[in-house]
A and B are shown apart, each in its own frame.
Chain A
Amino acid sequence: MKLAYWMYAGPAHIGTLRIASSFKNVHAIMHAPLGDDYFNVMRSMLEREQNFTPVTTSVVDRQVLSRGSQEKVVDNIVRKDGEETPDLIVLTPTCTSSILQEDLANFVDRAQMDAHCDVLLADVNHYRYNELQAGDRTLKQIVEFYIKKARKQGNLATEKTAKPSVNLIGFTTLGFHNQHDCTELKRLMADLGIEVNLILPEKATVDQLAKIPQAWFNLCPYREIGLMTAEYLQEEFAQPYVDITPMGVVETARCIRKMQQVLNQQGFDVNYEDFIQQQTRHVSQAAWFSRSIDCQNLTGKKAVVFGDNTHAAAMTKILAREMGIHVVLAGTYCKYDADWFRAEVSEYCDEVLISEDNGAIADAIARIEPAAIFGTQMERHVGKRLDIPCGVIAAPIHIQNFPLGYKPFLGYEGTNQIADLVYNSFTLGMEDHLLEIFGGHDTKEVITKGISSDSDLGWHSTAQAELNKVPGFVRGKVKRNTEKFARERGLSEITLEVMYAAKEAVGA
């Protein structure tokens, strides 16, 4: 048993559902008790999704528990097949139902006999894997299933496309700025003259998966989701993959050079150096920005970075290499992939922290007292308490990570976004100087008068106490309205009854 106040990565079934519901025309059946189906709420509320989330819960209740759930699960799969005619139904248990140790594979086989669509059981251990690992696995499982199916049916498209092409792997629903990253990479590919063969899994259909081998290579921008699929495809088709996250000017260039190398190896002669120069100097403002006078004050400022592997590693490199900021601590909650993280960031920071315990990071922040934090919502919260600004760079996702405006983290536009985020997170430039010189500009003393001293009305102690319970920002209004009400009626004392009567009278 573990005392936990906060979770950086969600449970396994969330990862599975993120993959399943990213595909088009794929339905997921959750075999779970009432209340475990909040994935639908997250998708509907955070992404403001207009369609019903294609996830149905086959509810496990006391009765199902005693009778066995096979009939119900099979019925629900067959029913959904009829109602929605999906191409694929993915069955997943949750942490709870997985301990029932039912033969879900058998349920799936049974359902497959009656269902027209394909039926798959998401093959994940719910106590060993978290959301990210489960997502990675489920994507690979679905891809593998359809590659095998296509091979059996003889419609696997193995011939490479005429022009260089790429599969972009790892974009999912409820991912951190995934939609915008995806758009940015599509633009980048267009600029580089590389066709996008498929984007996985976001908005792909399972029928398209047979086309995967057509692409010249795969690009996995995220360390967490997609890599297993890319590795499988390399093994299966010798299809190369690039796994450098194009985040920040330096890494974006490294990623593009790697793609160039992959294309060159396949006999396509291309040189992206001019493009990189052009983008770095003119499209991305980030390189010039960090040399501009304003940013001199960033030099040597202390920062703490924490997040998932992809974003924490990339952010550490950007801060250290591109902005001259002193990263005291870089950390990740991806414990299962700690070695990679260490290798990536060790040379750019003083300390590395690998932990899923938010308390450990909070303690480290309090000890280090950095000038800024780049972390998750949790670190933002810690920063608020310690009065240290925090830019949010990684999941767990929050409604703020689904902005309406275009805010990618990847590619050259991403470099601009990140530069803005960094700049806005620090108190710096002239503002910083002036604050130091003049000791702050908020010199006005707060003068609070006693709540009833300026009034000829008496507030009864109980009413006074009640008034104090009213949230501060409306307290003044409530007080004014109540006193107005009392004056109009010639009352000299405001009691609780008067307060409520006043509330009814003004209807507020």
Chain B
Amino acid sequence: MTVAQQAPSALNFDCETGNYHTFCPISCVSWLYQKIEDSFFLVIGTKTCGYFLQNAMGVMIFAEPRYAMAELEEGDISAQLKDYEELKRLCLQIKRDRNPSVIVWIGTCTTEIIKMDLEGLAPQLEAEIGIPIVTARANGLDYAFTQGEDTVLASMAHKCPTSAQVQGEDKEERNAIQKLLTFGRKADQEKVESEYVDHQPLVLFGSLPDPVVTNLTLELKKQGVKVSGWLPAKRYTELPVIDEGYYVAGVNPFLSRTATTLMRRRKCKLIGAPFPIGPDGTRAWIEKICSVLGIEPQGLEEREAQIWASLEDYIQLIRGKSVFFMGDNLLEVSLARFLIRCGMTCPEIGIPYMDKRYQAAELALLEKTCSDMGVPLPNIVEKPDNYNQIQRIKALQPDLVITGMAHANPLEAQGINTKWSVEFTFAQIHGFTNARDILELATRPLRRNSQLGELGWDKLIAKDVPAQV
């Protein structure tokens, strides 16, 4: 196992256990239903949960065919109704109306509090209705925002077949669609195979948009690394085969449970690497995978340098400036590391949850980056208190604050440049090619405000309007 190294000690970690705001972990529905095309997501919760997805996330209207709420009513809460019968009724209706390949039950705070045994009910119901059911406890009592995806993927990891199972059923059938699409271009396929180094199978985990999946797969292919599969795949029926001893690597910092599940339950070997965000992170990620698979990476240094050179126009805008992360989506450490490499300073990284083991390599790279760039180490604040943070922001006056949506407009109104962290959750930020998109987002408030400044807008707006907190 390569993850066991302890977190570097020079970094300072605080845990404020404060009152902080992030999105609810059930948000993951909004990107996972798009990613897994044959899925149906059933969120089992209250009106509060449903209204969140509808309003704050704006998902409901567009997701309608493949997402619904199982709204708990008074009878469900007081246990007058049988959970099994109720869920069966709903799932049968979903099967009749939509016939998905999988139904994902998203448990919420309410199912936790009333102790609804979703994991216990699922196998029985799955057998009865003939559709696989994945259960995930994406509740706000235990998790924040993006960790919802972690709960779903951890649960899905159990459902990945082994190669024995796949050979047992009909392998032909499993790949029937792919075969149709490639028209049996067998010769082509064999030629492609020879481009790979012979190594132990590697499965990547983390939900990324398809173009990014292709991109990262290609980057690894250039080094002769073959990606056997992604968790999740585009379709539930194409979940990757996972056998004992397979290597796995994550692409996102919030997937610690999935990593643990793959290691403990599926006996995979986790490659603990920094995350492929920014050219520095992407290079480190590829290098680590190569080194574990016994491959000498080729041309990565030049590739990274080339990307940095192409980013120069953006970097000029932020070099020497400071960025403050209030903490929202758990991408904070990776983004901070990249922005510090771009020449920024970062006094504070707020983060809802910090798994020092799973993020060990990323934290080490952060520390190294700070020392390379000669800037102080950021203070990492777990479960920050937003009120205290705002006082610190007022004192520090950072050039950019990356924050959740509830604070963005008020901070901007106080003359502080802000960027919504949510955008980094949804934008394509992974890999070499997309590094530019991160900077496009991060510099937008600075560019916009300097443009308004050039137009003379700052003379029209009184700068020190007293705004209350």
Please list the residues of chain A having a beta carbon within 8 angstroms of any beta carbon in chain B: 1-7, 10-14, 33-38, 40-42, 44-45, 48-53, 56-62, 65, 76, 83-84, 94-96, 99-100, 126-128, 130, 377-378, 381, 396, 466, 469-470, 496-497, 500, 503-505, 507
The yes or no answer to B113 lying at the interface (CB within 8 A) is yes
**Which residue of A6, A38, A126 is within 8 Å of B23 (Cβ)?**
A38
Minimum C-beta distance from B412 to chain A (A): 8
Query: Assuming A7-B47, A35-B24, is B405 touching A44 (CB within 8 A)?
Result: yes
Residues of B within 8 A of A126 (CB): 46
User: Closest approach, in angstroms, between the C-beta of B176 and any C-beta of chain A?
Assistant: 18
29 CB < 8 A contacts A-B: A1-B70, A1-B87, A2-B71, A4-B71, A6-B61, A11-B47, A33-B139, A33-B141, A35-B52, A36-B109, A37-B406, A38-B55, A38-B406, A40-B406, A57-B19, A58-B19, A76-B19, A94-B48, A95-B48, A96-B109, A96-B110, A99-B113, A127-B74, A381-B61, A497-B222, A500-B215, A504-B306, A504-B432, A504-B433
Contact (Cβ within 8 A) A83 B387: yes
Which residues of B sit under 8 angstroms from A10, Cβ to Cβ? 47, 51, 55
Q: Which chain A residue lies CB-closest to B412?
A: A50
**Residues of chain B in range 8-47 having any CB-CB distance to chain A below 8 Å:** 19-27, 44, 46-47
User: Are A57 and B21 in contact, with the CB atoms below 8 A?
Assistant: yes
Does chain A have a CB within 8 A of B244? no
Bound state CA distance, A2 and B47, in angstroms?
10
List chain B residues, Cβ under 8 A from A2.
69-71, 73
- The count of chain B contact residues (Cβ–Cβ below 8 Å) is 78
List 4 other contacts, CB 8 Å, given A33-B139, A96-B140: A35-B22, A38-B406, A45-B408, A99-B77
Q: Which of A5, A41, A466, A507 contacts B406 (CB 8 A)?
A: A41
Task: Give Cα distance in the complex from A56 to B412, angstroms.
Answer: 20
Residues A59 and B46 in contact, CB atoms below 8 Å apart: no
Collect the chain A residues with CB atoms within 8 Å of residue B19's CB: 56-59, 76
Residue B458 is within 8 A (CB to CB) of chain A in the complex: no
Q: Which residues of chain B from 116 to 147 have any CB-CB distance to chain A below 8 Å in the complex?
A: 139-145
Of B21, B50, B404, most A-chain CB atoms within 10 Å = B21
A83 to B18, CA, bound (A): 15
Q: How far is the CA of A462 from the CA of B140 in the complex (A)?
A: 41
The answer, among A33, A130, A378, A496, for a CB contact under 8 Å with B47, is A130
Smallest distance from the beta carbon of B299 to chain A beta carbons, Å?
13
Could you tell me the distance between the alpha carbons of A381 and B64 in the complex, rounded to whole angstroms? 11
Let me know if B48 and A11 touch, CB within 8 A.
yes
Contacts of B60 in A (CB 8 A): 5-7
Nearest chain B CB to A258 CB, angstrom units: 35
Minimal Cβ-Cβ distance residue in A for B215: A500
**Which of A11, A41, A56 has its CB near the most chain B CB atoms (within 10 A)?**
A41
Chain B residue numbers with a CB within 8 Å of A52 are: 390, 407, 410, 468-469
Q: A53-B406, A62-B141 are in contact. Are A3 and B68 (CB under 8 A)?
A: yes
Contact between chains at A42 and B141 (CB < 8 Å):
no
Q: Nearest Cβ in chain A — how far from B314, in angstroms?
A: 9
Q: Name the contact of B218 in the complex, choosing from A57, A61, A497, A504 (C-beta under 8 A).
A: A497
B427 CB-CB contact with A under 8 Å: no
A13 contact from B48, B109, B142, B307, Cβ within 8 A: B48
Q: From B22, which residue of chain A is reached at the shortest CB distance?
A: A34
Q: Digit string of B130-170 for contact with A (CB within 8 Å is 1, else 0)?
A: 00000000011111110000000000000000000000000
Provide the bound-state CA to CA distance between A130 and B48, in Å. Answer: 10
Whether A34 and B77, one on each chain, are in contact in the complex, defined by CB atoms closer than 8 angstroms, is no
- A-contacting residues, B210-253, CB 8 Å: 210-211, 214-215, 218, 222
Is B89 an interface residue when CB atoms closer than 8 A count as contact?
yes
Question: Quick one: which of B26, B76, B215, B436 contacts A1, CB cutoff 8 A?
Answer: B76
Least Cβ–Cβ distance between A70 and chain B, in angstroms? 16
Is B55 a contact partner of A37 (Cβ separation < 8 A)? no
Q: CA A381 – CA B60 in complex, angstroms?
A: 11
* A42 CA to B56 CA, complexed, in Å: 6
Q: Are A96 and B46 in contact (CB under 8 A)?
A: yes
The answer on a CB contact under 8 Å between A3 and B93 is: yes
The CA of A469 and the CA of B209, in the complex, are separated in Å by 11
Is B177 in the interface zone, CB < 8 Å from A? Answer: no
Give Cα A334–Cα B52 distance, bound, in whole angstroms: 20
List 6 A-B pairs, minimum CB-CB distance, nearest first: A35-B24, A95-B46, A50-B413, A33-B140, A40-B406, A11-B47
Q: Which of B55, B72, B352 has the most CB of A within 10 A?
A: B55
- Complex formed: what's the CA distance from A6 to B59 in Å? 10
Asked whether B3 is an interface residue with its Cβ less than 8 Å from the other chain, the reply is no
Q: Which residues of B contact A466 (CB under 8 A)?
A: 211, 214
Q: Of residues B60, B86, B210, B405, which shows the largest number of chain A Cβ atoms within 10 Å of its Cβ? A: B60
CB closest chain-B residue, reference A381: B61
Known: A10-B55, A507-B310. A48 touches B21 (CB 8 A): no
Contact assessment for A11 and B110 in the assembled complex, using a CB-CB cutoff below 8 Å: no
Expressed in whole angstroms, the Cα–Cα distance for A13 and B19 within the complex equals 18
Q: A44 is contacted by which of B26, B27, B406 (Cβ under 8 Å)?
A: B406
Task: List which B426-469 residues lie within 8 A (CB) of chain A.
Answer: 432-433, 436, 467-469
| Residue of A whose beta carbon sits closest to that of B20 | A59
